[in-house]
A and B are shown apart, each in its own frame.
Chain A
Amino acid sequence: MSTMTDNQSGPMLAADGTPLKVSLARALRRQKIRAFLLIVPLLAFILISFIAPIGDMLFRSVENGIVPETMPRTVVALEDWDETSGEAPSEAVFAAFYEDMKVAMEEKTHTKLGSRLNYDTAGIASLFRKLRKPMGNIDETQPIKPQFIDAEEDWGDPEVWQTIKRLSGYYTSSYFLSAVDMESTHDGIQMKDDFERIYLTLLWRTMVLSVAITVSCILLGYPIAFLLANLPLRTSNILMILVLLPFWTSLLVRTSSWIVLLQQEGVINDTLVSLGILDDQGRLELMYNQVGTIVAMTHILLPFMILPLYSVMKTISPSYVRAAKSLGANDWTAFWKVYFPNSVPGIGAGAVLVFILAIGYYITPELVGGTSGIFISNRIAYHISSSLNWGLAAALGVMLLALILVFYWLYDRIVGIDNVKLG
């Protein structure tokens, strides 16, 4: 009796005396290695094309090496300067700055530095671009500060030096502050002036419009998916092709066709005018505003709602509704109390998909959104390709990513992520 209990309390042994767990692990290892080898290409691909860029983006949103690297001496010298004094820094700082800029101009990095500083304080870029003028005439035996200020009086503006001092670290929060319409001044962190604020409004608008698009996708997609799921297979296959048709058409073509339809001289307005419903002056503004964005994006994202809904509805046995009816429920009760709750996972999956796609959408709002219908992603694109402020673009991107993760988390808390079914 006691030996038996002893045996069972110790680890189980395989026939050769090694613990069973060890020999099982050994047996499974080969299998695991093979499974791993199968996914290596995908893993490498994801690493290179997805994880690495995201990591790079995260890094860029706080990276600020250019300031301390281009002006190492100035950064050190500025440490003793009291930025709240309201006066330009001392001769020592100017001397250090002169040395730094000699090197920088040789390496032609000074304009880049100027653009970086310009993101925080407008006007600095031109100061650096015109650096050749003060630098060229410096007499190194005389104090440098007065010569600089004489040649270009803006060098005496303490704001310039405040900016340099603020940005002298290798890492900075300035991009993130800009991304939420804040700035850091010598008085501390505060909101930007009203007329300079843009990103919070944009972020808010992106969310509100994305919610509106998601809701209209649900409202339009649910009946279609229901129909598809309940028709005989042959009919539903034909209809399914109609649903998938947009996928085979270029996004640009689809968006442009909305322009043709919605613009003020477009098909819809012309029809309404010719029917006498509108007069020629009262043409509706359906484009280059939020209406345009919502209409076009709902159309483009609708399949992403219909497909998961359809695949979930396909699995709802018709006998549920029949059972409900045989138990005394009328058509509506049977639908609402029995069919609908079983289709919620499809709504969840579709809504998550559409919302996440919408929140980062770019081309369609760009083309039909005008100024009031653009999304935050359009600003990101602008900073990437036009203003070249990649740090800010990265910070905005990180915010968007964080936002999506927050939504995902909220969804998980409220609905439960296991409730999402894509098929």
Chain B
Amino acid sequence: MERDDYIVRFENVQKSYDGEILVVKNFNIDIERGEFLTMLGPSGSGKTTCLMMLAGFEPATHGEIYLNGQPINNVPPHKRGIGMVFQNYALFPHMTVAENLAFPLKVRGLSRADCDAKVKRALEMVRLPQMGGRRPAQLSGGQQQRVAVARALVFEPELVLMDEPLGALDKNLREEMQFEIKHIHETLGVSVVYVTHDQSEALTMSNRIAVFDDGIVQQLAAPEVLYEQPENAFVASFIGENNRLMGTVTALNGSTAQVKLDGGGETVGALAIKCGGVGERTQLSIRPERVVIGQDDADNKLSGKVVELIYLGDHIRCRMQVGTSEEFVVKVPNSHAHAALKVGEVTPIGWATDDCRALDVLEA
């Protein structure tokens, strides 16, 4: 009964293509009905593979995938009723746009009149009402993309998979299409599983994001949680910009840890997220915009030497040397209070203990 809340469930799914390397190591996920879930991860992390297993084009080596509570490992792709948008759109070149859209309806045996009506509505939905008679090759990239989306939705599936659908578009068009896809998702209420390796795309569009690396889900959470509260060093460095300081845990009390920075530096407080016990190495992670500069009322106080200043209009990007790190970045708001920074100057910096997270050490 409880399964009805979920449209898709992966249970301990593993996948290997060659019998030697596990491309997907242990994949568990529950996808809620109506959710926009994004799989985000670097190239080769197994995102497409998971999507292909869900669509039925690749068998899972181990584990079970459920769709609407039913195990689907033995259901062929065409019986799964899952819409799919491919990275290169995969519009049929020998059919017109309208024929492409009518294809899923015809194979389902719909009458001509029904077909025509649905095709027309789908074309209107993606704002291409005049383009039905054209061949895919006669459309621009963005138009092809919209047709591909329309085709995946025209037979009203409950679930649509999209594999980097915007990968081939330029930045402006991407942003416009992100908005449109999101809008369609909200209007139709379908569940969407979306694959991308563009983090800003993932952050703007998704209800939840599964961050992939190395064949496992590193963290599955809503965008703001992922950004504010990364659970490990990979997520912290993959999503947004982060300052990294290396150190050793000297004390643990409750949810906070005391960390002595490398190079004989100060001891600072941080949230103990994934830092192991006393005496273990840890990586501290602080967002550049959470560092305050030139004030001495913060929880943790250090000093940094300004190495480089980059003027970016609304803020100034200030690269500093802090402890052993030369890459410590602070975003300084462009206000009167901070007007006087100079290269070479040593200035006090600080941050709240709650903004600094002690995480595992990425072996680089």
Chain A interface (Cβ < 8 Å from any Cβ of B): 317, 319-320, 322-331, 333-334, 337-338, 341-342
Contacts and interface: CB of A to CB of B under 8 A. Distances in A.
Interface string B337-355: 0000000000000000000
7 tightest CB-CB pairs across the interface, nearest first?
A327-B104, A323-B90, A326-B84, A319-B90, A325-B77, A341-B94, A329-B107
Contacts of A341: 94
A342 B90 CA distance: 13
Interface in B78-129: 78, 80-84, 86-88, 90-94, 103-104, 107-108
B155 interface: yes
B94 A328 contact: no
B325 to A, nearest CB: 45
Given A327-B104, A328-B81, A333-B107, A322 B86 contact: yes
5 contacts: A320-B92, A322-B77, A326-B78, A330-B76, A341-B94
Contacts of A331: 78
Given A327-B155, A330-B78, A322 B57 contact: yes
Contacts of B90: 317, 319-320, 322-323
B86 A323 contact: yes
A319 to B, nearest CB: 4
B55 A326 contact: yes
B151 interface: yes
A328 B55 contact: no
Contact of B94 (A323, A334, A342): A342
Nearest to A327: B104
A328 B84 contact: no
Contacts of A325: 56-57, 76-78
Contacts of A329: 78, 103-104, 107
B94 A327 contact: no
A123 B158 CA distance: 89
Contacts of A319: 86-88, 90
Determine which residue in B81, B82, B107 has the highest number of CB atoms from chain A within 10 A of its CB, and name it: B107
A330 B55 CA distance: 14
* Dominant secondary structure of chain A at its interface with chain B: helix
Contacts of B88: 317, 319
Given A322-B77, A322-B86, A323-B84, A328 B155 contact: yes
Determine which residue in A328, A337, A338, A342 has the highest number of CB atoms from chain B within 10 A of its CB, and name it: A328
Determine which residue in B80, B86, B91 has the highest number of CB atoms from chain A within 10 A of its CB, and name it: B86
A322 B107 CA distance: 15
Contacts of B77: 322, 325-326
A342 B92 CA distance: 9
Determine which residue in A319, A320, A326 has the highest number of CB atoms from chain B within 10 A of its CB, and name it: A326
Contacts, number: 68
Contacts of A327: 78, 83-84, 103-104, 107, 151-152, 155
B92 A328 contact: no
B167 to A, nearest CB: 13
B85 to A, nearest CB: 9
A234 to B, nearest CB: 13
A323 B163 CA distance: 12
Contact of A328 (B86, B87, B104): B104
A328 B78 contact: yes
Contacts of B76: 325, 330
Determine which residue in A322, A323, A329 has the highest number of CB atoms from chain B within 10 A of its CB, and name it: A323
A326 B90 CA distance: 11
B94 A326 contact: no
Nearest to B82: A326
Contacts of A317: 88, 90
Contacts of B92: 320, 323-324, 338, 342
A337 B78 contact: no
A134 B92 CA distance: 83
A334 B82 CA distance: 16
Nearest to A342: B94
Contacts of B86: 319, 322-323
Contacts of B161: 326
B251 to A, nearest CB: 55
A329 B103 CA distance: 9
Interface in B52-77: 55-57, 76-77
Interface in B121-156: 151-152, 155
Contacts of A323: 84, 86, 90-92, 151
A363 B80 CA distance: 56
A322 to B, nearest CB: 6
B103 to A, nearest CB: 6
B76 to A, nearest CB: 8
Contacts of B83: 326-327
Contacts of B82: 326
A324 B152 CA distance: 10
Given A323-B92, A328-B81, A328-B155, 10 more contacts: A319-B88, A322-B90, A326-B55, A326-B152, A326-B161, A327-B84, A327-B103, A333-B107, A334-B78, A341-B94
A323 to B, nearest CB: 4
B57 A328 contact: no
B271 to A, nearest CB: 44
A406 B83 CA distance: 47
Interface string B145-177: 000000110010000010000000000000000
Contacts of B108: 328
Contacts of A337: 103, 107
A341 B135 CA distance: 14
A24 B76 CA distance: 61
B93 A342 contact: yes
Nearest to A323: B90
A252 B212 CA distance: 62
A322 B83 CA distance: 11
B103 A324 contact: yes
A284 B28 CA distance: 65
Contacts of B80: 326
Contacts of B78: 325-331, 334
A24 B236 CA distance: 59
Contacts of A322: 55, 57, 77, 84, 86, 90
B157 to A, nearest CB: 9
A318 to B, nearest CB: 9
Nearest to B104: A327
A337 B103 CA distance: 9
A338 B103 CA distance: 10
A347 to B, nearest CB: 13
Determine which residue in B86, B91, B92 has the highest number of CB atoms from chain A within 10 A of its CB, and name it: B92
A198 to B, nearest CB: 45
A242 B146 CA distance: 44
